Amino acid sequence: MHGLDSINTILRKHVDYRSRSLNLIGSEVPPSPTVRRYLTTDFVCRYANYNDDPKVRIYRGMKYITELELVTHDLVEELFNAKFVDLRPLGGESADAGVIMAFTKPGDTVIETGPGYGGQMAATRIQGTTPHSAAPPLTRGLFNVEYWPYDIKTHQIDVEKASEMVRKKKPSLLIMGRAQILFPPEPVKEIKEVAEEVGACLAYDASHVFGLMAGKQFPNPLDDGADVLMGSHTKTFPGPQGGMALTNSEETYYQMQGGKGGRFCGAIICNYHFNRIAALAVALAEMKQYGEAYARQIVKNSQALGKAMHELGFKVLYPELGFSRTHMIVVDVTEFGGGSKQARLLEESNIFVDSQSIPMDLVKGTSGSGLRMGTQESTRTSMKEKDMAEVAQFLKAVIIDHEDPKAVADAVAKFKSQFNRFAFSFDDGVNPYEPFY
């Protein structure tokens, strides 16, 4: 029979495993112990439902829940320059789903980023036309999905071709932002102009760059004309799991609610787990204080990792552009058997990366030829540019030199022991992998 001891044993094994591993996943960053503590308040068991106005609650006893939510809204508005805030999405997918449902009807066209350039493919997932989608048959074929045309030389939307597509297809919703974003700014202003021509809503999924935006290393799409800013606040932004949707338009805000008296995402979100709002408030306050230094170091580390890998013989994309100006780099590993194979080998060495398609896959008719690597967790745990050279050596040992994964894992553990301390947080110096149970 399993009990508390077996649960704690598994958890301790997990934190020990993570403390000895090098995490380069592009969508994860550990929140500070202070943020984590706020996940365990009395809010954990409260239902904080409201319709369109957080000051008007459905349940009783919400006086201080309302007060805290409004404080959290103020912090979001300050960091992201947004007048209207909804923090109820439980993640990026539910934020995307709510926006898609609000601004489309059956038969409409949606344009979003497809594979090859790191598309989140939210609309594609909703209607069940990706291999990993769990969408029910009812939603399949709900709307027509088109993908933005990109310039392979710049990793950016081809504005001329995109504008032609929008005028021809007359979509009701345009979605920018993606999971493989290397070089800001994206052409939000230019796409907004053509969106207005056809009466389309322009939404930007900022899941991957909320932390960089808070740290002023990535431009705010709302400032450039985007109607909605949405996504998860857990990738570069070191908050709890969850999502949000932001706008500067009162009309847009109420359309997301289904009109005045509505509820975000309709029946998708009811109980939105208010304990995470308290933790998010702390993370927002933390980013006000440390965000700029944190985001600057992330970009420096990404550029240093790209340069170090390039010098070791890896095909890191876009060396002529400096590899990256965000939290990630992308590497073509076609000659080594593709992304999935190398991601599995690296995991055996306690190094975690993402396997992804890259732009050349679209040209060759292949998929999954690349690895995406993010530097935000390394940065959060005190690594600097010089340390990226050692990280690159570990990657070379596995991918190019075919060294024994066990030997590499031991070397990774020894290296990682120097960096098991938080930086850019209310808990600088604290071990992020220390068990707290």
Task: Let me know whether 376 and 250 are in one domain.
Answer: no
CA distance 424 to 236: 13
Task: Let me know whether 201 and 138 are in one domain.
Answer: yes
Indicate whether 279 belongs to any domain.
no
CA distance 36 to 275: 10
Q: Which domain holds residue 73?
A: 47-273
Indicate whether 379 belongs to any domain.
yes
Write down the pLDDT at residue 425. Answer: 96
Query: Is 395 within 8 Å of 309 (Cβ atoms)?
Result: yes
DSSP 79: H
365: left (phi over 0), alpha (psi -120 to 50) or beta: left
pLDDT tens digits along 363-380:
999 999 999 999 999 999
Indicate whether 180 belongs to any domain.
yes
pLDDT tens digits along 234-254:
999 999 999 999 999 999 999
Write down the pLDDT at residue 133. Answer: 47
Indicate whether 26 belongs to any domain.
no
Q: How many domains does the chain have?
A: 2
CA distance 58 to 375: 42
Write down the pLDDT at residue 436. Answer: 57
CATH number assigned to the domain comprising residue 367: 3.90.1150.10
Residue with tokens 């900022």: 206
Indicate whether 302 belongs to any domain.
yes
Q: Which range, 24-33, 136-145, 251-260, is most confident?
A: 24-33
Task: Let me know whether 258 and 298 are in one domain.
Answer: no
Task: Let me know whether 263 and 325 are in one domain.
Answer: no
Mean pLDDT of the chain: 93
pLDDT tens digits along 72-131:
999 999 999 999 999 999 999 889 999 998 999 989 999 999 989 998 888 887 776 554
| Mean pLDDT of the region 20-34 | 96
Provide the CA 273 distance to its chain's centre, in angstroms: 20
Task: Let me know whether 312 and 234 are in one domain.
Answer: no
pLDDT tens digits along 130-188:
544 444 544 556 789 999 999 999 999 999 999 999 999 999 999 999 999 999 999 99
Write down the pLDDT at residue 68. Answer: 97
Task: Let me know whether 300 and 433 are in one domain.
Answer: yes
CA distance 289 to 425: 8
CA distance 353 to 124: 24
* Per-residue pLDDT at 320 exceeds 80: yes
Write down the pLDDT at residue 271. Answer: 86
**Model-level pTM?**
0.95
Task: Let me know whether 200 and 62 are in one domain.
Answer: yes
Q: What percentage of the chain carries pLDDT values higher than 70?
A: 95
Query: Is 376 within 8 Å of 235 (Cβ atoms)?
Result: yes
CATH number assigned to the domain comprising residue 262: 3.40.640.10
CA distance 269 to 255: 16
Domain boundary among 244, 273, 302: 273
Half-sphere exposure of 183 (CA within 13 A, CB side): 17
| Mean pLDDT of the region 390-417 | 97
Indicate whether 17 belongs to any domain.
no
* Per-residue pLDDT at 428 exceeds 50: yes
Indicate whether 7 belongs to any domain.
no
Domain boundary among 246, 273, 300: 273
Q: Per mean pLDDT, which range of 25-39, 46-60, 322-336 is the poorest?
A: 46-60
Task: Let me know whether 314 and 436 are in one domain.
Answer: yes
Provide the CA 176 distance to its chain's centre, in angstroms: 13
Task: Let me know whether 302 and 225 are in one domain.
Answer: no
CA distance 187 to 436: 45
* Per-residue pLDDT at 313 exceeds 70: yes
Task: Let me know whether 348 and 420 are in one domain.
Answer: yes
pLDDT tens digits along 325-354:
999 999 999 999 999 999 999 999 999 999
| Mean pLDDT of the region 32-37 | 94
User: Could you tell me which residues come within 8 angstroms of residue 335 by beta carbon, excluding any fewer than 6 positions away?
Assistant: 315
The angle formed by the CA atoms of residues 7, 13 and 16, to the nearest 5 degrees, is 140
Residue 434, exposed/middle/buried by CB under 10 A (0-12, 13-18, 19+)?
A: exposed
Write down the pLDDT at residue 141. Answer: 65
Indicate whether 56 belongs to any domain.
yes
CA distance 103 to 317: 35
Write down the pLDDT at residue 140. Answer: 57
Is 171 strand, coil or helix? coil
* Per-residue pLDDT at 52 exceeds 60: yes
Task: Let me know whether 296 and 255 are in one domain.
Answer: no
Residue 36, exposed/middle/buried by CB under 10 A (0-12, 13-18, 19+)?
A: middle
Measured over the CA atoms of residue 77, residue 78, residue 82 and residue 83, the dihedral's sign is positive
**Omega cis (within 30) before 432:** no
What tokens does 355 get? 């396997």
Task: Let me know whether 376 and 303 are in one domain.
Answer: yes
DSSP 175: E
